């Protein structure tokens, strides 16, 4: 892994926590589902903007492993929205040369959703434009524990020597294998926490928190977050050029 300290260049990988759909709807006296529906439109805007800005990887938190604890009607609405998004938008994203990867636990998901996920990845795997990483039924601690279990099995069977375990090797057991760490993480709705998202991958990520609720996310919001990121100095634990 090569990491270079200094003033930031355009981010290669942007991760987003799309938060505030419910509050956006409440503020308008609408059901939460209306916020999620509008959230899908904001997602389309974000994907298009990322592609046009030359961002190579965009990771979005679409459904966390903790979201199952919401009322059943909301969970089933979100799952239907995912089905709809995949059926409706993947053909267009494919035409736009977008590669789609879906990370998160597949075990226990409805078989039709697993089939949609597999089809989507297969269909778009040779695309060379933006890589859209969709975190679905994703939780970072679970991902890390699963990687540890697989690594332990690899050691037990003699395929991996304990001395060869490095952060890079461990990272290759995660679902984000082959994807560079996020440079910038944007969370909407003013909340300032990571909520079990990409805990390992965000070791040196710059965080930008914006006040807009997710349904109001626009190209300008993305541009502002990137401008803020570009003004930051990334040190990766080292010193800046001036203080060295
Ligand atoms: C957070 O708002 C948003 C979610 C839990 C779901 C995110 C999903 C979308 C934006 C659309 C779905 C996209 C796909 C691909 C399925 P919240 O409900 O936590 O809002 P609140 O914090 O205001 O209650």
Could you give the number of structural domains in the chain? Answer: 1
244 inside domain: no
SS3 for 99?
strand
Q: What CATH number is given to the structural domain containing 52?
A: 3.40.1180.10
124 confidence band (pLDDT: 50, 70, 90) = very high
pLDDT one-digit tens code per residue, 23-37: 999 999 999 999 999
SS (H, E, C) 41-74: HHHHHHHHHHHHCCCCEEEEEEEECCHHHCCHHH
177 inside domain: no
236 inside domain: no
Name the nearest CA neighbour of 206 among 3, 46, 47: 3
206 inside domain: yes
Say what the pTM is.
0.93
pLDDT one-digit tens code per residue, 200-244: 999 999 999 999 999 999 999 999 999 999 999 887 888 766 665
pLDDT one-digit tens code per residue, 161-186: 999 999 999 999 999 999 999 999 99
What are residue 209's DSSP bridge partners?
187
22 inside domain: yes
CA 47 to chain centre: 12
Q: Classify strands 131-138 and 57-64 as parallel, antiparallel or unpaired.
A: parallel
Burial class (CB in 10 A: 0-12, 13-18, 19+), 127: middle
25 inside domain: yes
- Cβ atoms 21, 37 nearer than 8 A: no
CA 87 to chain centre: 20
174 inside domain: no
Range of the domain at 88: 13-139+182-230
Report CA(163)–ligand 1 centroid distance (Å): 42
Q: Ligand 1 pocket: which of 16, 17, 20, 21 to mutate (most atoms <8 Å of CB)?
A: 21
For residue 38 and ligand 1, the question of a CB distance below 6 A is answered with no
149 inside domain: no
């Amino acid at each position: 892994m090569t990491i270079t300290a200094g003033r930031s260049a355009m981010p290669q990988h942007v991760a987003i926590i799309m938060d505030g759909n419910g509050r956006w709807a409440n503020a308008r006296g609408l059901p939460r589902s209306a916020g999620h529906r509008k959230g899908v439109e904001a997602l389309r805007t974000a994907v298009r903007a990322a592609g046009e800005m030359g961002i190579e990887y965009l990771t979005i938190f679409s459904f966390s492993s903790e979201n199952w604890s919401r009322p059943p009607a909301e969970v089933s609405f979100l799952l239907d929205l995912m089905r709809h998004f995949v059926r409706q938008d993947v053909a267009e994203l494919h035409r736009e040369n977008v590669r789609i990867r879906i990370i998160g636990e597949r075990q226990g998901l409805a078989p039709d959703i697993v089939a949609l996920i597999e089809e989507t990845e297969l269909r778009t795997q040779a695309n060379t434009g933006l890589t859209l990483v969709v975190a679905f039924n994703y939780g970072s601690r679970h991902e890390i524990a699963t990687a540890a279990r697989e690594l332990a099995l690899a050691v037990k069977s003699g395929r991996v020597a304990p001395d060869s375990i490095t952060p890079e090797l461990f990272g290759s057991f995660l679902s984000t294998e082959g994807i560079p760490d996020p440079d910038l993480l944007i969370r909407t709705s003013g909340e300032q926490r990571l909520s079990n998202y990409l805990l390992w991958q965000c070791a040196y990520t710059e965080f930008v928190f914006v006040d807009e609720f997710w349904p109001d996310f626009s190209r300008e919001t993305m541009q502002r977050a990137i401008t803020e990121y570009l003004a930051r100095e990334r040190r990766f634990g080292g010193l800046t050029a001036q203080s060295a």
